[in-house]
Amino acid sequence: MTGEQIKELRKSLGYTQARLAEEVGLTPNTIARYERDELKPSPPVLKLLKLIELSTAGRKAA
């Protein structure tokens, strides 16, 4: 998942960086660094982001 994809996911949820950080147990600064591609999410964080992405896709389809 690229930084742009993380940013798009966050915006599609209507979340701030702080809210997304809270959801996945990180700091807002870490989310910002992911979005700028300065830092890559660890496998567990990537899994959480993918689950969030899948859950939002399900809501849009319903």
At 55 the pLDDT is 87
At 61 the pLDDT is 56
Residue 31 phi, psi dihedral angles, 5° rounding: -60, -45
CB 50 within 8 A of CB 40: no
Domain boundaries, the chain: 3-61
CB 3 within 8 A of CB 37: yes
Q: Record the pTM.
A: 0.86
At 46 the pLDDT is 95
The rounded percent of the chain whose pLDDT value lies above 90 is 82
Q: What is the CATH number of domain 3-61?
A: 1.10.260.40
* Residue 41 burial (10 A CB sphere; 0-12, 13-18, 19+): buried
